[in-house]
Amino acid sequence: MASKTKRTELVRKHKKARSGAKSKAARRNKGTTKSKKVLFGD
């Protein structure tokens, strides 16, 4: 059986990777480059 410390470390690692998952996915899908409209106006 894994020690309590190992278990805790793994849980923390997974939590850290999972945090901000929605914004990470949005960045992957939509990118972070501003649109021409935003940069230069209409």
Q: 3-38 pLDDT, tens per residue?
A: 999 999 999 999 999 999 999 999 999 999 988 888
Full-model pTM: 0.53
The upper half-sphere exposure of residue 35, i.e. CA atoms within 13 Å in the direction of its Cβ, equals 5
DSSP 6-34: HHHHHHHHHHHHHTTHHHHHHHHHH-SPP
Structure tokens given for 20: 């901000």
| More confident call, 1 vs 7 | 7
Query: How many residues are listed for the chain in this entry?
Result: 42
The predicted structure's pLDDT at residue 35: 87
Provide the pLDDT confidence category of residue 1 given band limits of 50, 70 and 90. Answer: confident
Per DSSP, the three-state class of 2 is coil
